[in-house]
Structure 1
Amino acid sequence: MLSTQEANKGIPLHHAPSGTGYKLLELPPELLALLESDDPPTLRLEPSPTAGLLKTPDNKTWSLRQKNTSNALILLQAAEQGGLDAVATVHDTTELVPEAEAAAAPIVAARGKWHERFGKTR
Structure 2
Amino acid sequence: MSSQKDAGIPLNHAPNGIGYKLLELPPEVLALLESETPPVLTLESSANSAILKTGTQSWALHQKNTSNALIILEPSEGTASLSSSQIPETTLNAIATIHDTIELVSEPTGKPAPVARGKWHERFARGR
Smaller-chain TM-score range? 0.7 to 0.9
Please identify which structure carries the higher helix content.
1
Q: 1:59 aligns with which of 49, 56, 73?
A: 56
Q: What amino acid does structure 2 have at the position aligned with 1:90?
A: I
Q: How does 1:39-118 map to 2 (within 5 A)?
A: 39-56=37-54, 58-81=55-78, 82-100=90-108, 108-110=117-119
**Runs of 4+ residues deviating >4 angstroms:** 103-108
Q: Is the 2:47–2:115 Cα contact (8 Å) retained in structure 1?
A: no
TM-score (norm 2): 0.71
CA RMSD in angstroms comes to: 2.6
Distance 2:69 2:119 in 1: 23
Unpaired segments ≥5 residues, structure 1: 112-122
1:14 aligns with 2:3: no
Report the Cα offset of residue 110 of structure 1: 4.1
Secondary structure of the equivalent of 1:50?
coil
Distance 1:35 1:60 in 2: 13
Q: Identity across aligned pairs (percent)?
A: 57
Cα deviation digits, residues 50-69 of structure 1 (max 9, x gap): 3210001x220001000011
Q: Taking structure 1 as reference, are residues 96 and 107 closer, same or farther at Cα in structure 2, changes over 3 Å only?
A: same
TM-score (norm 1): 0.74
Q: What residue number does 2:84 align with?
A: none
Q: Taking structure 1 as reference, are residues 17 and 106 closer, same or farther at Cα in structure 2, changes over 3 Å only?
A: closer
